[in-house]
Chain A
Amino acid sequence: MRILIVDDSAMMRAMIKRVIKLADVPVESILEASNGREGLELLQKHEVQLLLTDINMPVMTGAEMLREIAGNDRWRGMSRVIISTDGSTVRREEAADLDVRCYLEKPFSPEVLRDVLNELADNEVAETD
């Protein structure tokens, strides 16, 4: 599985990478971007199976990036997870409209993210079978 992490905090990206390595997820490689624009550029170049993205970022927000992704069939099969401080009901409803499979609100413990990753990996295997 190739994973893309989009967050403007290098430390948050590092923390997410650390949790991914602790999770029971088959990882081929982990890509990183610091905003939605960089994330889209990486998605144009690489096949990604799982996207983990923040919402509030400079240059292009996670919501703007997800809207572009939702409008392109190329990324239809990619799992999308939002990791954001914005826990508002409006943002969660918007995420549901953008085919986001999980909405993880910051702050969160590493164990919560690990469980989400394991569940997504299990679903991926079940869908493949």
Chain B
Amino acid sequence: MSSTNSRTTKLPKLTNPEAASAMFEAVRAVAEQSFFAVAEPSDDRSFGVAAIQVPRWLVATVGFEQGPLAGSVSCTLPERLANGLFDAFTGRDPSDPAPTSTLVYDLVGEFSNMVCGAWLTRVEGSRTFTLSHPSVEPAVKPGTAGDLRLVAAIDDLPVAVDLRLLPLGRVNGVPQA
């Protein structure tokens, strides 16, 4: 399930139900193919209940430009899930020394990068795009929803994916090549 705000009506192509469905398919493909994790659809209520029990989150944001469209995709996930995804992606044994936060942030950034790219390919596969280098920040709770918010569960932990649309030529505030 997804929630949208009033901007949805102005930009139907990126925020219609098909685009939201494509976002979940992108999340599921990334989780399953590269991180050996199970992604399931969720809803705002289930997400809210699960989110209360999460003490620390990571928010990874990737800016994009695709023809006349520009914006960003942010993946918000529990730090615990990030560590689990790290182990799955790298084959790290849980008995090995814990990875540095720099490496975990890099991995979460790559997760968001893949989700954004897979989603853009699904919604507009005939048009190429550019992505910014991911920015990753810690958070004590999920931020406000973007123009489109998808909530899901990966390995039974809550995940939010927010799409935000920006004026053309600015991706994360930085002009892109």
Seen from chain A, the residues whose Cβ lies within 8 Å of a Cβ on chain B are 8-12, 14-15, 18, 56-58, 61, 84-91, 94, 105-109
Interface residue ranges of B60-88 to A (CB < 8 Å): 86
Chain B: how many interface residues by the 8 Å CB criterion? 30
Q: A8-B133, A9-B106, A109-B34 are in contact. Are A14 and B127 (CB under 8 A)?
A: no
Closest to B133 in A: A58
B133 and A85 form a contact (CB under 8 A) = no
**Which chain B positions have C-beta within 8 A of A57?**
133
- The answer, among A14, A85, A89, A105, for a CB contact under 8 Å with B90, is A14
Seen from chain B, the residues whose Cβ lies within 8 Å of a Cβ on chain A are 29-30, 33-34, 86, 89-91, 103, 106-107, 109-110, 113-114, 116-118, 120-121, 124-131, 133, 177
B131 and A10 form a contact (CB under 8 A) = no
A12 and B110 form a contact (CB under 8 A) = yes
Q: A11-B107, A107-B29 are in contact. Are A85 and B116 (CB under 8 A)?
A: yes
B127 and A85 form a contact (CB under 8 A) = no
**Which chain B positions have C-beta within 8 A of A90?**
126-128
* Cα A111 to Cα B177 with chains together (Å): 33
B114 and A91 form a contact (CB under 8 A) = no
**Which chain B positions have C-beta within 8 A of A91?**
128
